[in-house]
Chain A
Amino acid sequence: MRIGNVSGLKPVTPYEFWVRVEIEEESRLPRRMIQIDDMVKLSFNYERFKEIKAYGVVVEIETCWDREGMRGFEEALVTSNKSFALPIYLAKVIVTRLEPFISVPPPVGTPVYLVEENETDEVYGFGPLKEKKRALPVGILLNGGVAYLDLAYILGDNGAHINISGVSGVAAKTSYATFLLYSLLETGKKLSREDASLRSLANSRAIIFNVKGEGLLFLDEWNTEWKNNEKTERVKEWKSMFEKMGLEAKPFEKVSYYVPSMKGDEKKPDVYYRTYGVKIFGWDILDIIRLDLLELMFDPEELSKNVNIQLAVSALSDTLWNNYKSLLDEAEEELPRLRDEGRYDFDMESLRDDDKIRLYLMVSGREPSDLLREKGIPPTFEDLISLLRDEEFRARLSAEEELEDKTIKAMARRLRAARKLDIDRVWKRLDLSCFGVLNEYKPPEYRLNWDNSEDGCGMITVIDIAKLRYRAQTFVVGAVLKEVLHSKESALRPEPVFIFLDELNKYAPRMGGGPLGAIFRDIAERGRSFKIIMIGAEQTASEVDYRVITQASTVVVGHQKVAELKKDEYAHLIGAQREKASTLLQGELIVDQPFLRVPMTIRFPMTPWATREDSHQPRNSIPSLKEFFS
C-alpha cells in the first residue's frame, strides 16, 4: 500500500530519508497514516545499477503547516476556516536493508509503500537467520509479523547476555525474561530436530532467581488468566501469537524449585503459597571453602573501602583453603584403604573433590565434626565465629598473614552481625550420618541440582531468595554464579546455562559492587566463552555496573521513565524511540541486537505459565465440591 514519496525537503542519504505522506484532497488527512516502527519499502534504479530495493523502519513522524514562517494568528485563521493552509506529514525512515547493497540514496519523489506482514523478514533480514537456523522468535511486530533475534548474539558465538530494563509493574520484565527462556528452550528443541549440531541448545539449563514474593515458584502451572478466560478474544489472540512464533502455549516442564529454610529450622522450607514440590538449598563449609564464598558474607561496601578487613577475609579464606586441601589429600590417601576395609563399595574417582571429603568424613569412622575441627575447618557458622575467637588461631593467623589482632576480632564481629542477616539460613551443617557399608554416594540434599536432568530435576531451576535479607541474597547469588562458573570451567560442556536475575542493579551496582560485582563482571566478560548467559533485569540500566551492562548483546527496554531514557545507556534507541519507550504499554518492549539497524518494537503474549503467586492453577488441582459430586 502506497503511503507517500521520498521527500526532498530533508536530506536523503543511502541510510535514511523522509517520506512525505500523501494527503487526501478533501479531508487534508493522510490517505494512509503511518506510525513509529511501521515498516516501509521502495524500489528505484539508476542507470549504472540494476533495480535496488530498500527497506526501512519509521523512527520519527512530524507534521506541521506546509508554509514557511506561519504564525499563530494565521493558524487561528486556518483552524477557524478563515484561511487555508495545507498540513504536511513527514516520516523519517532508517534504511534497514538495501538489496543489492549499493550505497546510493533513493531518488527524491520515489513512491514508498507499507510493508505487509508477509514481507517482514525482508525488512529486518530474518531470512538469512532462518536459513542458518539462528532465528529466535521473541515477539510480534507492529504489522503482525514475527520478530526474531539472532541466536549467535545470545549464545556467545558473536556476543552474549541479555539485559532488560523498565519500570516495575508496567514493563513486564520478569514475564518477558521467562518468555525468552521458554522461547530459547522450545526453539532449541525444534532446531535440534532439524539439525543435530544444535542439540546443545535443546539441553540448555536455566537458573531463575525469584526476588519477589513467590511469583516465579509456579512456572510449571497454568496462568489463571489463560485458563479462566479460554474462550475470550484476549486468550485467542495470545494463542495466535504463540502459534505465529511456532511455540506451543503451555507452562514450563521440568522445573525444580529451591527455597531457603525457615530461620531456626533447617528442615522446614520457608514458603507460604508454594507448599509442595520444593527443596531447601544451602551450602556447607566444604562448598564455602571450595567456592571461596567467605567474602560474600561481608558488607561489600566495607570490603571495598576497608583494606584491612579485606586482607583479613582473604587470609582467613586462604587458611581455610589450605586446611581443605590438606583434608582432601588425606581423604584421597585414605579412601582406597577404607574401601578395602569394606566401609563403602563403589568407585570414588568420579566424585568431585568436596564429595571425596564428604565420603571420607562419612566412612572414616570418626565424628565428622570432630575431624573437621581437628583439621581447622569449622563445620558450622557458630564454629567459624568460635574459631576466630580462639586466641591460638588468631595468633597464628596474625603471625602468618601479618594481621593485627583487632582486625581479626573485627572480622569476627562482622560475621556475628551477618548471622542476623540470614547468612545462617543458607549455611548448612554437614549431615553425614552413615550406617553400615555405603553402597552409593548421595550428594547433600541442599545442593542445587541445576545441572542434572536425569533424575527428574528440571531444565529450569528456580531459586527463591525473596525471603532472605540482602546480605544472604547477595551470598546466594554469588554462590550460584561461582558454582556455575566453576562447573563450566572444569568441564567445557557446550550446553548453555541461562541465569535470570531481576534487580541486577542491586547485585552489580555501578558503584561499589564488592566481591559480587567482581563475579558479575567476570561472568559478563568471560561467561560467553563458557556459554553462561546472563539475563539481567533492572528498573534503571544506568545504575548497573558499566562493564556488566555493556557486555549484553541483546538489550530490551520496556516502559521507562523519561529522565532515565536520557542516559547514555539508551543511546541505541533511534529517533522517537526514546520518547516512545516512556509510553510503552504492558506487553510492549523495544528489542535490540547488533545485527539490527533499528531496534524493534514488539508485543509478547501473556504467559500461559503463572508469574504471580495469586494467578496459578495447579496442573492436578483438587476438584471443587461441585466437580466432585458431578
Chain B
Amino acid sequence: MGVSIPQIFREYGFYLDHWHDPEDPRFYHGRIEKESRLVDDDRFHEVSLDPSYWESWVRESRGWAKPERVILMDGVRRIHRRLCDEYGSAAGCIAEIVVGHMLWSEKGVIPCLNPQIRRVLVLPTFRMPKLKDIEAYFPSPMGFKFDIVELESGGEDSISKTVDNLLLAEEGEYLKKLFLKGEAFILKDGTMHPGFPSFAGHLHGPIGLVKRVLREHLPEDLLSLVIKLPKGARTPFYVAYVREKEDILRVMCYLRIMDPDPFGSPMMGVVRLETLVKRVDFESDEERDRLKKEISMAFDMVAGFASSMTIKGCDLPRTPENLPIVFSLEKWLSSFFLPTDCLNAFLKGGV
C-alpha cells in the first residue's frame, strides 16, 4: 500500500523549506564522533601505556605486509529537501542513503555495481498514525518509492540525527552481509559502532578507519607521541569500553598515513584504526592473547595498506586522512543519488 508524497503534503500541511541549504551535492562528510577520553582504568592494551614504553615500541622496525584484497566499505547520505510543518518548524525531510564497497587488489579496483540504496521520507509519524507501515512515492514515470521513517526527537538537529542513525543502521546491515561473504579483508570508512560485526581475524577484519580524531582523547604525553609518529607507523593499540553497550569493547590505535605539511595541523595525516571485540572474549587470558596477536597483525596490515594509498600533492578534500580511494568510493556511491533537480521537478509538479 502506498501514498503519494504530494498527497501527504496536502493532507498534513507540510511544505518544502525553501531556506534549506542543500548540503554538499555529492556526499555527506560525516559528523565528528564524541569520543571518550582514555582513562587509566581501561584495562587492556597491547603494551604498557607508559609513554616511554610507547616510544620505544613505535621505533621498533615492523615488517607490515599488505593484504592481497581489501574491501573498502562506506555509506553516504543526502538530505534533498527539508520539510516544515504548518507552524514553520522543521518537521522532516526527503533523504537518500547509499551504502556500498569497492574491492581493491594489485590488479585494480572494482566498485560494487549494486550498492544498497534506501530512500526515506522522515516525518513526525507519531502525529500521523495512518502513515505507519506504508510507502510513499513520487507520481513520476520512474515511481521511486520512499520508506516513511519516524523523526527522532533531538531538537533542532533531529533531522540530521535521524538520517545519520539510518545511515549507521544501513552500514551495519551492509557490513554484516559483506562479512558473511568473507571475500576479503574489510576496511570500513568511519568508526565501528556497537552492532557492527566484531573482529574475526587478521584476514577478515573488519577494521574501521576514523579520519577525524580529536586531540582530547589522549593524555597530553601520549598525544605528543602520536604527533611524532613517522609515516606508516602506528601506536600500540588499547581497549576502551563502549559505554553504551558494555559487552562490546572497542580496540583502537593511531596511525600516521602521511607526513604533515609544515603549515598544517600536527594531527594532519593521523587516523585511528578501530575494531570491536566481545568483552567475553577478552575475559579469558588465552583467547585474549590470541585476539591481541590477531588484532596486532590486522592493524599492521592496515597501517601498511593505508599509508601506501596516499600520494603527496593530492589536494582532494579532507586528504590525507580521507584516503583517495575512499574519496572515489564516496563519489561512486553519490552517483546513485537521485539528481536533486529531477527530484525538485517531481515535487514542484506534485505539490
Using a CB–CB cutoff of 8 Å, the interface residues on chain A facing chain B are 25-26, 28, 67, 73-74, 76-78, 80-86
Complex Cα gap A83–B311 (Å): 11
Complex Cα gap A212–B308 (Å): 65
Using a CB–CB cutoff of 8 Å, the interface residues on chain B facing chain A are 102, 104, 106, 108-111, 113, 308-311, 313-316, 323-325, 327-329, 331-332
Question: Are A74 and B316 closer than 8 Å at their CB atoms?
Answer: yes
Other than A81-B106, A82-B308, give 6 A-B pairs with Cβ distance below 8 A.
Answer: A26-B108, A73-B313, A73-B314, A81-B104, A82-B309, A83-B324
Closest B-chain residue to A86, C-beta based?
A: B111
Hey, which chain A residues are within 8 Å of B111, CB to CB?
A: 84, 86
Question: Are A84 and B102 closer than 8 Å at their CB atoms?
Answer: yes
Question: Are B332 and A84 closer than 8 Å at their CB atoms?
Answer: yes
Closest chain B CB from A25 CB (angstroms):
6
Question: Are B316 and A84 closer than 8 Å at their CB atoms?
Answer: no
Closest chain A CB from B280 CB (angstroms):
39
Question: Are B110 and A81 closer than 8 Å at their CB atoms?
Answer: no
Partner among B113, B311, B313, B329 whose Cβ is within 8 Å of the Cβ of A84: B329
Closest B-chain residue to A66, C-beta based?
A: B335
Report if A74-B324 is in contact (Cβ < 8 Å); known contacts: A81-B104, A82-B310, A82-B311. yes
Question: Are B328 and A85 closer than 8 Å at their CB atoms?
Answer: yes
Question: Are B315 and A73 closer than 8 Å at their CB atoms?
Answer: yes
Hey, which chain B residues are within 8 Å of A26, CB to CB?
A: 108, 110
Closest B-chain residue to A76, C-beta based?
A: B311
Closest chain A CB from B210 CB (angstroms):
20
Complex Cα gap A80–B332 (Å): 18
Could you say which of A26, A73, A76 has the most chain B C-beta atoms within 10 Å of its C-beta? Answer: A73
Complex Cα gap A81–B323 (Å): 12
Count of CB-CB pairs between chains A and B under 8 Å: 46
Hey, which chain A residues are within 8 Å of B109, CB to CB?
A: 78, 81, 83-84
Complex Cα gap A81–B104 (Å): 8
Complex Cα gap A86–B108 (Å): 11
Chosen A-B contacts, 11 in total, with CB atoms closer than 8 Å, are A74-B324, A77-B314, A77-B328, A81-B106, A81-B108, A82-B310, A82-B323, A83-B324, A83-B325, A83-B328, A84-B325
Hey, which chain B residues are within 8 Å of A78, CB to CB?
A: 109, 328
Hey, which chain B residues are within 8 Å of A67, CB to CB?
A: 331
Question: Are A25 and B110 closer than 8 Å at their CB atoms?
Answer: yes
Closest B-chain residue to A26, C-beta based?
A: B110
Interface of A: prevailing SS: loop
Report if A25-B113 is in contact (Cβ < 8 Å); known contacts: A67-B331, A74-B324, A82-B325. yes
Could you say which of A74, A76, A81, A84 has the most chain B C-beta atoms within 10 Å of its C-beta? Answer: A84
Complex Cα gap A464–B315 (Å): 71
Partner among A25, A28, A82 whose Cβ is within 8 Å of the Cβ of B324: A82
What 7 pairs across the A-B complex have the smallest Cβ distances? A83-B324, A84-B109, A84-B328, A83-B328, A77-B324, A82-B309, A83-B325
Closest A-chain residue to B313, C-beta based?
A: A73
Complex Cα gap A67–B310 (Å): 20
Complex Cα gap A82–B331 (Å): 14
Hey, which chain B residues are within 8 Å of A82, CB to CB?
A: 308-311, 323-325
Question: Are A77 and B311 closer than 8 Å at their CB atoms?
Answer: yes
Closest chain B CB from A102 CB (angstroms):
24
Question: Are B327 and A83 closer than 8 Å at their CB atoms?
Answer: yes
Closest chain A CB from B12 CB (angstroms):
37
Closest chain A CB from B44 CB (angstroms):
34
Complex Cα gap A405–B327 (Å): 93
Closest B-chain residue to A27, C-beta based?
A: B108
Partner among B311, B323, B328 whose Cβ is within 8 Å of the Cβ of A80: B311
Complex Cα gap A607–B305 (Å): 62
Hey, which chain B residues are within 8 Å of A73, CB to CB?
A: 311, 313-315
Hey, which chain B residues are within 8 Å of A83, CB to CB?
A: 109, 324-325, 327-328
Hey, which chain A residues are within 8 Å of B325, CB to CB?
A: 77, 82-84
Complex Cα gap A55–B284 (Å): 73
Closest chain B CB from A66 CB (angstroms):
9
Complex Cα gap A67–B104 (Å): 19
Hey, which chain B residues are within 8 Å of A84, CB to CB?
A: 102, 109, 111, 325, 328-329, 332
Hey, which chain A residues are within 8 Å of B308, CB to CB?
A: 82
Hey, which chain A residues are within 8 Å of B311, CB to CB?
A: 73, 76-77, 80, 82
Hey, which chain A residues are within 8 Å of B104, CB to CB?
A: 81
Complex Cα gap A341–B310 (Å): 113
Hey, which chain A residues are within 8 Å of B332, CB to CB?
A: 84
Closest chain B CB from A420 CB (angstroms):
74
Question: Are A28 and B113 closer than 8 Å at their CB atoms?
Answer: no
Question: Are A28 and B327 closer than 8 Å at their CB atoms?
Answer: no
Partner among B108, B309, B313 whose Cβ is within 8 Å of the Cβ of A28: B108
Closest A-chain residue to B105, C-beta based?
A: A81
Hey, which chain A residues are within 8 Å of B313, CB to CB?
A: 73
Closest chain A CB from B273 CB (angstroms):
18
Complex Cα gap A74–B317 (Å): 12
Hey, which chain A residues are within 8 Å of B316, CB to CB?
A: 74
Hey, which chain B residues are within 8 Å of A28, CB to CB?
A: 108
Complex Cα gap A73–B328 (Å): 13
Hey, which chain B residues are within 8 Å of A74, CB to CB?
A: 316, 324
Closest chain B CB from A152 CB (angstroms):
49
Closest A-chain residue to B72, C-beta based?
A: A84
Complex Cα gap A25–B111 (Å): 8
Hey, which chain A residues are within 8 Å of B328, CB to CB?
A: 77-78, 83-85
Complex Cα gap A187–B41 (Å): 99
Complex Cα gap A128–B206 (Å): 67
Closest B-chain residue to A73, C-beta based?
A: B314
Hey, which chain A residues are within 8 Å of B315, CB to CB?
A: 73
Hey, which chain B residues are within 8 Å of A76, CB to CB?
A: 311
Hey, which chain A residues are within 8 Å of B113, CB to CB?
A: 25
Closest B-chain residue to A28, C-beta based?
A: B108
Closest chain B CB from A326 CB (angstroms):
92
Could you say which of A67, A80, A81, A83 has the most chain B C-beta atoms within 10 Å of its C-beta? Answer: A83
Closest A-chain residue to B312, C-beta based?
A: A73
Hey, which chain B residues are within 8 Å of A25, CB to CB?
A: 110, 113
Complex Cα gap A80–B310 (Å): 10
Could you say which of A73, A77, A78 has the most chain B C-beta atoms within 10 Å of its C-beta? Answer: A77
Closest chain A CB from B258 CB (angstroms):
12
Hey, which chain A residues are within 8 Å of B310, CB to CB?
A: 82
Complex Cα gap A440–B108 (Å): 89
Closest chain A CB from B267 CB (angstroms):
22
Closest A-chain residue to B104, C-beta based?
A: A81
Closest chain A CB from B206 CB (angstroms):
20
Complex Cα gap A449–B324 (Å): 80
Hey, which chain A residues are within 8 Å of B110, CB to CB?
A: 25-26
Closest chain A CB from B77 CB (angstroms):
20
Complex Cα gap A67–B26 (Å): 12
Closest B-chain residue to A72, C-beta based?
A: B313
Hey, which chain A residues are within 8 Å of B314, CB to CB?
A: 73, 77
Closest B-chain residue to A80, C-beta based?
A: B311
Complex Cα gap A225–B104 (Å): 54
Closest chain A CB from B72 CB (angstroms):
9
Closest chain A CB from B104 CB (angstroms):
7
Complex Cα gap A82–B314 (Å): 11
Closest A-chain residue to B316, C-beta based?
A: A74
Hey, which chain B residues are within 8 Å of A80, CB to CB?
A: 311
Complex Cα gap A84–B108 (Å): 8
Hey, which chain A residues are within 8 Å of B329, CB to CB?
A: 84
Closest chain A CB from B325 CB (angstroms):
5
Complex Cα gap A26–B69 (Å): 14
Closest A-chain residue to B308, C-beta based?
A: A82
Closest chain A CB from B144 CB (angstroms):
18
Complex Cα gap A26–B108 (Å): 8
Closest chain A CB from B71 CB (angstroms):
13
Hey, which chain A residues are within 8 Å of B106, CB to CB?
A: 81
Closest B-chain residue to A85, C-beta based?
A: B328
Complex Cα gap A67–B334 (Å): 12
Complex Cα gap A86–B113 (Å): 12
Closest A-chain residue to B329, C-beta based?
A: A84
Closest chain B CB from A601 CB (angstroms):
34
Complex Cα gap A73–B331 (Å): 16
Complex Cα gap A237–B53 (Å): 79
